[in-house]
Amino acid sequence: MKRSVALVLTLASGLALNAAAQTATPDAPGAATATAAPSGPAKIAVVAFQVAVAQTNEGQRNFADLQRKYQPKQAQLKTLSDEIDNLTKQLQAQGDKLSDSERATRAKTIDDKKKQLDRSAEDAQNDFQNEMQELYNNLASKVYDVLATYAQQHGYTLVLDVAQQQNPVLYANESTNITKAVIDAYNAKSGVPAPAAQSGAATVPVAPKPPAATPKTPAAH
């Protein structure tokens, strides 16, 4: 029986990144700083902040590097999972020909390996998510600084994050969406070139975990 549950380590899917983003709060030193009241009408923009962080060249590069780092672990877990499947099939096929003690010994071996797989998979998932969290936090803080500068330079008095699962934005004209502009501005500032296209997504078998709570992501001021 297959014991692996695939955690997709791909930026394109956004799943792993979203797991990190759900608990991330990028530092925004100037977010609470009071500014002079605008003399003209309010100018509002919207941004998909998590998308902006994910789609920067630096973000794509860093998360791709993280995928590659966990590929050896992926291979180890798949090998162990395949071994469990083979032992289980052998026991099922030969069970009636084995003595009670031999059958019990083989069953215990399979059970021990299943427990080892579950522990190793859970450790791999936790390690991956922690590193993803750290990557996201560090990058989100820098992207926020660029977003704040961009908003000030273009006279926006309010920027709303439409990437939040519980956001108040019901409609926004596309001309108010500055997500791509922020990505381009960050790429220009960072100097990181666009990564080469990747052929496929790596997966790591992991033990299932309950979904995390969804704290609020930071809103720019």
Q: What is the pLDDT of residue 28?
A: 44
Under a CB-based contact definition with an 8 Å cutoff, are residues 190 and 57 in contact?
A: yes
Residue 92 lies in a domain: yes
Residue 36 lies in a domain: no
Under a CB-based contact definition with an 8 Å cutoff, are residues 3 and 206 in contact?
A: no
Residue 104 lies in a domain: yes
pLDDT in tens, 52-106: 999 999 999 999 999 999 999 999 999 999 999 999 999 999 878 889 999 999 9
Residue 210 lies in a domain: no
Residue 215 has, within 13 A of its CA and on its CB side, a CA count of: 10
Residue 184 lies in a domain: yes
Residue 221 lies in a domain: no
The owner of tokens 């997966």 is 203
| Domain around 70 | 5-21+43-190
pLDDT in tens, 97-152: 889 999 999 999 999 999 999 999 999 999 999 999 999 999 999 999 999 999 99
Q: How many domains does the chain have?
A: 1
0.85 surpassed by pTM:
no
Residue 91 lies in a domain: yes
